[in-house]
Amino acid sequence: MRVIVANCSVDYAGRLSAHLPLAPRLIMVKADGCVAIHADGGAYKPLNWMNAPNRLVEGDGVWTVTNPNGEKITITLVEVLSDSSWVLGTDPGLQKDGVEAHLQELLAANCTHLAEGFRLVRREYPTDIGPVDLLCRDADGVTVAVEIKRRGEIDGVEQLTRYLDFLNRDPMLRPVRGMFVAQQIKPQARVLAADRGISWLEVDYDELRGLASNELRLF
């Protein structure tokens, strides 16, 4: 990531023509080649930008960025105030929702929320097709594979069915039954789960976190 703060003017030619008059601005040249010109305001949208692939030519006080569509940004640098480069590496990505992972953590910490007498064998129990969220033993010692979702839909039941198929091949574990757990489970997913002998349970995230709701219910 190259970060330049400079007094500059910018001209764009392409689908339309645009001109940014001379002013101090932030120019970002990202590792993938994207170029973005920002003012000191606004949360995210650059004043001007060009996505990769493009070609950046650094001339004497004038940079030109062109792309295969014939668009061209000309940046005229009058004074460079700062110019630094940083290696940021690969970004881990945006985690929009940590609820699912937190649900797994909370239920692993207290399996009796799932059913009386449940004991945790392991979180993220590995199988050949991926890890099962929780592997538990019920009060009778039967192995239970628990799949946890924020919203319980049919594909979650399918996923658990595949895990059960693999887990039941293990003579040390079988018979393994399934439990599908979510904050809310769609009616179709309940029917499919019941049809496959998989039990299901809706859990209250706030209650698990110890945040008692102030809304009282009739039942």
Comparing CB distances to another protein, the nearer of 86 and 219 is 219
Which helix (H) or strand (E) segment is 17 a member of? strand 17-29
Comparing CB distances to another protein, the nearer of 172 and 218 is 218
Angle among Cα 18, 22, 26 to the nearest 5 degrees reads 85
Shortest gap between Cβ of 212 and another protein (angstroms)? 8
Strand partners, 191: none
Q: Is 136 exposed, middle or buried (0-12, 13-18, 19+ CB in 10 A)?
A: buried
Shortest gap between Cβ of 216 and another protein (angstroms)? 5
Comparing CB distances to another protein, the nearer of 22 and 191 is 191
Shortest gap between Cβ of 153 and another protein (angstroms)? 11
Shortest gap between Cβ of 93 and another protein (angstroms)? 30
Burial 188-197 (b: 16+ CB within 10 A, else e): ebbebbeeee
Which helix (H) or strand (E) segment is 154 a member of? helix 154-167
Q: State the CB neighbour count (10 A cutoff) for residue 204.
A: 12
Instruction: Give the DSSP letter of residue 204.
Output: -
Shortest gap between Cβ of 118 and another protein (angstroms)? 23
Comparing CB distances to another protein, the nearer of 69 and 188 is 188
- The single residue listed with the structure tokens 């764009």 is 12
Comparing CB distances to another protein, the nearer of 37 and 189 is 189
| Positions in the binding site for another protein (CB under 8 A) | 184-187, 202, 213-219
Strands 199-202, 176-185: parallel, antiparallel or unpaired by DSSP?
Answer: parallel
